[in-house]
Every structure is written in C-alpha cells, then in structure tokens.
Amino acid sequence: MKPKIYITRKIPEVIYDQLTEFATVRMWEEEETPVPRELLLQEVRDIEGLFCLLTETIDEEVIQQAPKLKIISNMAVGFNNIDVTYANKQGVIVTNTPGVLTETTADLTFALMMATARRIVEASDYLRKGDWKTWSPMQLTGRDIYGATLGIIGMGRIGQALARRAKGFGMDILYYNRSRKNEIEKKLGVEYCEFESLLQQADFISLLLPYSPEVHHLIGEKEFKQMKKTAILINTARGGIVDESALYHALKNGEIWAAGLDVFEKEPIDLDSPLLSLPNVVTLPHIGSASEATRLKMAEIAANNIIQVLKGGQPITPVKIK
C-alpha cells in the first residue's frame, strides 16, 4: 500500500507528479490562500508525510492529530512555524530547504538596500502621480551605497553572499554573529564587531539571522536610539526580530532614515499598519526566495526529503536544533 502525503498548498505540477508516483497524495488546491486550520487538522489524521509552508503552524495539536506521521517537510529555510522539539519527541523528522535560496535571497536583500537608499519606489510613485514638474538639485535625494558601511547581523550563508555583493560596491563590512568566523573574515575581508558597536557604526544594517525566541524583538526602541540618524534597516530574515511599533516611531521621529522590509510580525501585514503610511519604508510581500528556479528547487528538495524518509532512508536536509 502506498504511503499517504498531504500538501498544504498547490505546488509545481512536476513536483506533484513526482510525489503521486510514489504515494497517495492529497493537496490543498489554492495557490494564494493557506489551508484552513480546521481542514489541516482533519487531513493529517492518516498521513505519513506532511509537505508544508511557513504559512502553516505545525504545533503540538496538529502533530497529535497525526499518529502515523513520520516526516514534516517544510518548503522553507526557516522552521519557526513548526514545534520541532515536540515533533522529534514523537519520532517525527522535520526537514527544511537550506542552501538553495541563498543567492536569491541575497539578491533581494541588496535590491531592498538599493531601492530604500535611492528612494526608488517613492520616486516612481512621485512620477506616476504627476508630481514631477521640473528638475531640482535636491529632489528625491537619497543615500549612497558605494563606500558606505554595511553591518550584517547573522553571518550565515545568506550573510556571506550579501557580503560578496557589498564588496563589489566598495562597502566596508562589519558583522555580528553569535560565534566569530575567522575564516570568513579572511576570505571576504569582513570585520567582526560587537552588537552595539555595529549598530552605532553601520550606515546599512541587514538582519539575516534565523528566528528564535531568544532574538524576538532583538531590534527595538533601545537599539534604534543607538543607530545613526542616517541609518537604513533591512530585514529579510523574520518579522519577529524587529519590534514594529518601535520601528514605526524611530522612522516617524527621524531616529533612523529608512527601512526595507520583506518580512513582518504578522503576515500578511494588516493594511492599516502605520508602517504602510510612511514614505521612507519599502515593503515587500515576503519574496526573498521568489525566483522561479529557486522556488522549484525548494519544492524538489522538500519532496525528496519526504520520499527518502518514507522509503526508510535518511532525510537529505534534516532540521537540527541545539
């Protein structure tokens, strides 16, 4: 008898076909809407494999409803949507899709830096609204990236990829990480810096660390007051790392110059969020890994993790928590 798999969102047809050759597959057919919680709790009752996204909270309640479950395959690098500790206690393997989205996310991070610094979205809206009447010396002036100081918080794969891009723009690069990386310093020419010192020195601060309860609101009122008034904050990691209320007040009161955000504490962000009222914020709908090739590769890895485990083998990219 074929194993049973549930997929929580419509995935590329080629990956779906790969899974259906191996297993009996049920799938939530919507592309834009997450599976309702009530339906998810029903669908997991007789499955061995769960293919999910960050939009699904796979907590103790869900896992308890799935006594046959052997693997939760998350189509993402992050896994804060899953209670990994409880899953492991129940003998359920959790996997993610690291590595494949490194360069794509670094591209998006640098694009946010450029768009925010040079006020690209604001300038485009200015033109489209008919406000562009003439050229003037200080019209829509932004901040230079070339020669500026970039502070990277979290020197993992994506942080290193961002550093390589920044070198091409002649940036000075500082980084803070929970463990110092001497080899990376030599290879990339980056400088380790204590957290508070980085906040004080950097012109651009990029958050590229994984989310955990320990880093919830790592950047808040105290941290914004330590930054330069000309600083630009870029968050392509996870929304909960930044206190959004404190960010709004810092931007509104001129404590920092601007912010570029691909992630939010609540996703989708509420349209009445005060952050969306500010001209000095560039906002994106969590598209850090959204290139066609990258998303297809992520789906492929997630599918192969399920197939390997349900065949009795080892997962390709297991989540390991410390």
- Active site positions, annotated: 238, 267, 286
Of 206, 164, 162, 161, give the one whose Cα is nearest residue 189.
Answer: 164
What gap in Å lies between CA 31 and CA 53, rounded to an integer?
A: 12
What gap in Å lies between CA 249 and CA 194, rounded to an integer?
A: 25
Residue 105 one-letter amino acid: T
Residue 18 CB partners (closer than 8 Å, separation 6+): 300, 303, 307
**E-state strands within the chain:** 4-7, 24-27, 49-52, 71-74, 93-95, 149-153, 172-176, 191-192, 204-207, 232-235, 258-261, 281-283
Which residue matches tokens 């709908």? 285
Q: Angle at Cα 102 formed by Cα 101 and Cα 108, nearest 5°?
A: 85
